[in-house]
């Protein structure tokens, strides 16, 4: 005869230990690899209302948003990455989730600040983006891509002002210092500490697509933000071998 014992309820200490444990990067990357194109829209009101957590990638044109999404999802052409600034012109949504059950959305937004765009288009786009960032109800986190060689631009600062009230209400915020491969070690360390002072309590990570730097750290953060109610110590299942990063043709 087998005697079945029911698991003892978690003590507060156990619950705390679980909550602070980091999810395995294998789990986080396996989850990101499930990304599929969901829809595209020129404006906010064309987007379907969704309930699952949404994580938006924002930043100046050419900062590396689409490349970052491709690298994190280990898919070469999920998001359109290009040498030519202004490649992403719509709001593009990608669904994430195992066994066909969507549990989060990644959003690739067109970049701002590209000089060659006519002024009226620039203004229109800034309004679309501000509207998205302020009113998208299921928006759970913002990833601001910043090339540390340029630092925060004036438009990045405007964006920070726009999202600040939501960040104060709990919206997660991450600055990804992209193209870290263009910096020396010392420059990377310096850029990281400067950005930590500017990020207003948000997270900051160095990232390089060709060097695959920071991928696991960013992946685990996004997983945790999309699954706040799950214990982070999820079991590692079906690991995904990373593909080679998108060509860094810049």
Using CB under 6 A as the criterion, which residues of the chain lie in contact with ligand GTP when the complex forms?
59, 61-67, 81-83, 85-88, 110-111, 145, 178-179, 181-182, 208-210, 246-250
Give the integer Cα–Cα distance in Å for 242 and 219: 13
Give yes or no for residue 88 binding Mg ion (CB under 5 A). yes
Give least dist CB 142 to ligand GTP, A: 14
Give least dist CB 182 to ligand GTP, A: 6
Give least dist CB 9 to ligand GTP, A: 46
DSSP letter (8 states) at residue 230: S
| Closer residue to ligand GTP, CB minimum distance, 65 or 227 | 65
Selection from Mg ion, ligand GTP, none that 181 binds (CB < 5 to 8 A by kind) is ligand GTP
Provide CB contacts within 8 A for 24, sequence distance 6+. Answer: 220, 234, 236
Selection from ligand GTP, Mg ion, none that 86 binds (CB < 5 to 8 A by kind) is ligand GTP
Selection from ligand GTP, Mg ion, none that 67 binds (CB < 5 to 8 A by kind) is ligand GTP
Give the integer Cα–Cα distance in Å for 68 and 230: 25
| Closer residue to ligand GTP, CB minimum distance, 81 or 218 | 81
How many Cα atoms within 13 Å fall on the side-chain side of residue 44? 17
Two tokens, residue 180: 């870290």
| Closer residue to ligand GTP, CB minimum distance, 54 or 246 | 246
Give least dist CB 26 to Mg ion, A: 27
DSSP letter (8 states) at residue 145: E
Two tokens, residue 76: 């070469």
Which segments of the chain does DSSP mark as H helices, in order? 12-20, 25-32, 65-73, 119-135, 154-168, 185-198, 215-226
Give yes or no for residue 62 binding Mg ion (CB under 5 A). no
Angle at 246 between CA 40 and CA 154, to 5 degrees: 65
Selection from Mg ion, ligand GTP, none that 224 binds (CB < 5 to 8 A by kind) is none
Give yes or no for residue 67 binding Mg ion (CB under 5 A). no
The partner residues of 205 in beta bridges, in order of sequence, read 176
Q: Which residue has the tokens 């860094």?
A: 248
| Closer residue to ligand GTP, CB minimum distance, 136 or 179 | 179
Residues lying near Mg ion in the complex (CB under 5 A) are found at 65-66, 88
């Amino acid at each position: 005869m087998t005697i079945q014992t029911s698991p003892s309820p978690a003590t507060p200490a156990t619950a705390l230990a679980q909550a602070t444990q980091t999810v395995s990067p294998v789990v986080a990357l396996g989850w990101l690899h499930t990304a599929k194109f969901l829809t595209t829209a020129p404006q906010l009101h064309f987007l379907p209302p969704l309930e699952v957590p949404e994580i938006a990638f924002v930043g100046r044109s050419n900062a590396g948003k689409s490349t970052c999404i491709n690298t994190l999802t280990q898919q070469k052409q999920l998001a359109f990455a290009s040498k030519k600034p202004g490649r992403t012109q719509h709001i593009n949504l990608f669904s994430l989730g195992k066994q066909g059950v969507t549990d989060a959305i990644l959003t690739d937004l067109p970049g701002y600040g590209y000089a060659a765009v006519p002024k009226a288009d620039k203004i229109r786009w800034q309004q679309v983006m501000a509207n998205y960032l302020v009113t998208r109800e299921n928006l759970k986190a913002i990833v601001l891509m910043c090339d540390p060689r340029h630092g925060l631009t004036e438009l990045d600062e405007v964006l920070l002002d726009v999202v600040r009230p939501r960040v104060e209400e709990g919206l997660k915020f991450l600055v990804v210092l992209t193209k870290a491969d263009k910096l020396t070690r010392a420059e990377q360390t310096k850029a990281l500490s400067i950005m930590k002072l500017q990020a207003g309590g948000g997270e900051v990570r160095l990232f390089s697509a060709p060097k695959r730097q920071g991928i696991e750290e960013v992946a685990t953060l996004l997983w945790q933000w999309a699954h706040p109610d799950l214990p982070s110590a999820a079991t590692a299942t079906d690991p995904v071998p990373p593909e080679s990063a998108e060509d860094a043709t810049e």
